[in-house]
């Protein structure tokens, strides 16, 4: 009999349970990322989205769906409109001037789901003496509630470069367990457009249903 100890494993589908199913609206997702900026002692957090572009791409998706529906004529139904995604070039950007993260911090802090920052640091405050807003370490998954692609570019104070990673929802859930998931990183020599320090999150492949209520609600 094999006496090797059994191992506790986690399926990447937990990303769907803790991200997609918990954060179903754009407004909730933005709240999480702004809270992350607050906890990084940022003085500024800017959310950018092109309303007209979003609406135009949504209209294109709707027209394509209706055309496919007409051709199907009761046969195999096309992918539901609400689950379709906008083009990658149509994005929502959240950028702050907080502490930023280097490669190791992206690994140990951002890519560690469920991290308890309070218990690790022994304090409920940031280095800048702010009361921490984040509690469960799940907010980093919020983006998957509205988008299938999350790009993170972060620059640590004092470093000339930034570090970039890209998370793809379809790629993540295609794996059987989390230790099969590899996240390549890229060193951006010029800082990636981030001055001195900070983090930029780019959400793309945005899901139709998540922005259907319009950007006014998110604002």
**Is residue 174 assigned to a domain?**
yes
Q: Kindly indicate the confidence band of residue 218, based on its pLDDT and cuts at 50, 70 and 90.
A: confident
**Is residue 124 assigned to a domain?**
yes
Judged against a pLDDT cut of 70, whether residue 136 lies above it is answered with: no
**Is residue 12 assigned to a domain?**
no
**Is residue 13 assigned to a domain?**
no
**Is residue 4 assigned to a domain?**
no
Give how many domains the chain has, as a whole number: 1
What is the spatial distance between Cα 143 and Cα 140, in angstroms, rounded to a whole number? 7
First-to-last alpha carbon distance for the chain, in angstroms, is 60
* Contact by Cβ (8 Å): 88, 166: no
What is the spatial distance between Cα 164 and Cα 212, in angstroms, rounded to a whole number? 29
For the ranges 35-39, 116-120, 179-183, the maximum mean pLDDT occurs at 35-39
pLDDT at 121: 61
CA 167 centroid distance within chain: 8
Range(s) of the domain holding residue 144: 21-69+78-218
**Is residue 208 assigned to a domain?**
yes
What is the spatial distance between Cα 131 and Cα 157, in angstroms, rounded to a whole number? 22
CATH number of the structural domain spanning residue 89: 3.30.565
* Residue 92 β-bridge partners: 49, 203
* Contact by Cβ (8 Å): 95, 42: no
Mean pLDDT for the stretch of residues 159-186: 87
pLDDT at 71: 86
Judged against a pLDDT cut of 60, whether residue 88 lies above it is answered with: yes
- pLDDT tens for 119-130 read 566 678 888 888
pLDDT at 125: 86
**Is residue 11 assigned to a domain?**
no
Cβ-Cβ contacts under 8 Å for 62 (sequence gap 6 or more): 81, 208
For the ranges 26-30, 81-85, 144-148, 196-200, the maximum mean pLDDT occurs at 196-200
Whether the pTM exceeds 0.75: the reply is: yes
pLDDT at 122: 62
């Amino acid at each position: 009999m094999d006496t090797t100890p059994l191992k506790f494993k986690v399926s990447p589908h937990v990303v769907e349970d803790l991200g997609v199913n918990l954060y179903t609206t754009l407004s909730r997702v933005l709240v999480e990322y702004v809270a992350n900026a607050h906890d990084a002692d940022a003085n500024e957090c800017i959310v950018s989205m092109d309303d007209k572009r979003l609406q135009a791409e949504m209209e294109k998706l709707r027209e394509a769906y209706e055309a496919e529906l007409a051709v199907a004529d009761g046969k195999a139904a096309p992918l539901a409109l609400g689950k379709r995604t906008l083009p990658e070039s149509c994005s929502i950007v959240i950028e702050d001037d907080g502490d930023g993260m280097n490669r190791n911090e992206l690994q140990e802090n951002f890519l560690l789901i469920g991290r308890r920052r309070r218990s690790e640091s022994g304090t409920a405050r940031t280095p800048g003496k702010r009361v921490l807003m984040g509690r469960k370490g799940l907010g980093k998954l919020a983006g998957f509630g509205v988008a299938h692609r999350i790009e993170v570019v972060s620059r640590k104070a004092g470093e000339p470069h930034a570090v970039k990673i890209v998370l793809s929802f379809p790629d993540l859930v295609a794996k059987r367990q989390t230790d099969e998931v590899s996240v390549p990183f890229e060193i951006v020599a010029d800082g990636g457009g981030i001055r001195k320090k900070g983090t930029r999150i780019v959400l793309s492949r945005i899901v139709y249903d998540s922005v259907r209520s319009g950007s006014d609600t998110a604002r």
